[in-house]
Amino acid sequence: MRTSTVRSVGLSVAVAAALTSVAACGGSDDKGGDNRGSAVVKADPIAALLDVQKKTGGESSAKVEGTTQMGTTMSMKQSGTIDWTDGLTGTMEITYTGGTMADAMKQNGGTGAMQARYFKDGYAVNMGEAFARQAGGKHWINYGYADLAKLAGASGEAMKQQMQNTTPDQGVKSLLASGDVKKVGQEDVRGVSATHYSGTVDVAALTAKNSKLDADQLDQLKKQLSDAGITTEQVDIWVDENDLLVKKTERGQMKTGELNSTVYYSDYGTKVSVEEPPANDTVDFTDLVKQQQGAAGGAG
């Protein structure tokens, strides 16, 4: 397999970012809430968000659509359906629209468009015809969360936990955990009247609080975040009259530029079905890494 092919393999690791942006920057899988009266809820942003967390977290699936930009590294758009009843499953259509990743994909003959299918223990990505021509005719790469965690260290372990416990109400939990949340007011979101809430989240502190990383992993994660220039994020959410999340944005700074994510949620309760790609059309990510290491060793 050509080196350029294996180099392009690394691009699809960022497919995780497409779904991570759907989830916000972390949270536990606790679906607790309270039963405060609506009169109290509307007057107090914290109480209101507890109600939103309970209502949105109590749903099982939704349609999602959005965009993600990570500095000069990549920009992408994504749309699909996700179910979070038992881990996270679903299908997303993802298109890289700019950045160094999109450039590298074009250089390798790719279009920048791919489909990702998410399962409880990992996800698979259809890399398209250009990749298949260099990979023995196989279109799909299979990524196990456990394998990615080993390769990426603490950030990989945090991503693994987040992906396996993700729900749309994580943005709500982020704001609640931050202790910094305010009600902005009523705004229109795609024709729906929604209440806008905003706050600032300390990414490392929130991830540490809501993950099950040990002390060494937390230290490593903080260093990785610091190296990337990621410290705080502004999280904004919009909630409809039924206390369901309809939009979420995250904004922050990285060393490579701005981090900016916008996600829209709709059709709660929609039916989600996802099939494993054919085994004979799939190559495992760990096998590609071994091939790359072997090629590098041979070249040396």
- CATH number, domain of 84, equals 2.50.20.20
Asked if residues 110 and 134 have their Cβ atoms less than 8 Å apart, the reply is: no
- Average pLDDT of the chain to the nearest whole number: 76
Give pLDDT, residue 250.
86
Q: Which residue range forms the structural domain that includes residue 30? A: 3-299
pLDDT above 60: residue 140: yes
* CA dist., res. 143 & res. 75, Å (int): 21
CB–CB of 87/107 below 8 Å? no
Higher pLDDT, 256 or 83: 83
Of 95 and 7, the structure prediction assigns the larger pLDDT to 95
Tell me the C-alpha distance between 56 and 268, whole Å: 9
Q: Which of 60-69, 93-102, 166-175, 201-210 ranks highest by mean pLDDT?
A: 60-69
Structurally, how many domains does the chain consist of?
A: 1
pTM (2 d.p.): 0.78
Condensed to tens digits (0 to 9), the pLDDT of residues 118-139 reads 998 889 999 889 889 888 999 9
Query: Do 193 and 240 meet the contact criterion of CB atoms below 8 Å apart?
Result: yes
CB atoms inside a 10 Å sphere around CB 36: 14
Cα maximum dimension of the chain: 70
Q: What's the confidence (pLDDT) of residue 13?
A: 45
* Report for 16-20, 102-106, 210-214, 255-259: range of highest mean pLDDT: 102-106
Q: Are 249 and 261 in contact (CB under 8 A)?
A: yes
Cα atoms found within 13 Å of the Cα of residue 180, Cβ hemisphere only: 11
Mean pLDDT along residues 1-22: 45
- Arithmetic mean of pLDDT, 144-164: 67
203 versus 179: which is more confidently predicted? 179
- Phi, psi of 108, rounded to the nearest 5 degrees: -90, 5
pLDDT tens for 49-59 read 889 988 988 89
> Phi/psi class of residue 109: alpha, beta or left (left: φ > 0; alpha: ψ in -120 to 50)?
left
155-178 pLDDT tens trace: 566 666 666 566 787 778 777 777
Q: Which of 131-135, 202-206, 230-234 has the lowest mean pLDDT?
A: 202-206
Name the percent of the chain lying above pLDDT 90: 31
What is the C-alpha separation between 185 and 77, in angstroms, rounded?
Answer: 28
